[in-house]
Amino acid sequence: MSEWIPFKEGDYIVEQAFLLAPDESAVLLEDAVIRVFQNRQGQRQMNGSGRVINVFLVSLLDEHNEIDLVLDLGAEFKYLLKDPILKGGKVFSPDVKSTLQFLPKEPWTQIQEDEFETLYARLNFLS
């Protein structure tokens, strides 16, 4: 998974991030960042984290087996991560946000700006 990462090593702030279910229900991921790094074999890899209200994430996972992640890094840098690995806390109070870590299972797909806007307009964000 090294050739698909279009960024140099470093930490990148994500302008907008959200978890997305097939029925277009979604949950915001706040204060998201991604980290691009080289592994021991010299291949670029990526992981990231953000804050989420776990109760909303659990609601998505109760209804759907696969949850995707959309990352907006600004300008034309918008990406879809299909069914990433998600690791989060176990706090289920509706008022508590916890850190959610994510790792891609496969290369991310770039989303064109107009497609992103159309998708975003259709989403039903849990609140």
Residue with tokens 């998201």: 32
Please report whether residue 121 resides in a domain: no
The CATH number of the domain where 51 resides is what? 2.30.110
Q: Residue 92's pLDDT is what?
A: 66
**Residue from 92, 12, 111 nearest 52 by CA:** 92
Q: Residue 1's pLDDT is what?
A: 46
Please report whether residue 83 resides in a domain: yes
Please report whether residue 53 resides in a domain: yes
Please report whether residue 105 resides in a domain: yes
CA distance 45 to 59: 30
**Residue from 101, 122, 119, 103 nearest 111 by CA:** 119
Please report whether residue 57 resides in a domain: yes
Please report whether residue 42 resides in a domain: yes
Please report whether residue 3 resides in a domain: no
State how many domains the chain has.
1
Please report whether residue 116 resides in a domain: no
pLDDT tens digits for range 76-107: 999 999 999 999 877 667 778 889 999 999 99
Give every residue of the chain whose pLDDT is below 70, as ranges.
1-2, 91-92
CA dihedral 78, 57, 33, 83 (to 10 degrees): -50
CA distance 1 to 3: 6
42 phi, psi to nearest 5 deg: 80, 10
**CB contact at 8 A, 27 and 94:** no
**Residue from 35, 28, 17, 116 nearest 73 by CA:** 17
Query: Which domain does 50 fall in, by range?
Result: 10-110
Q: Residue 48's pLDDT is what?
A: 98
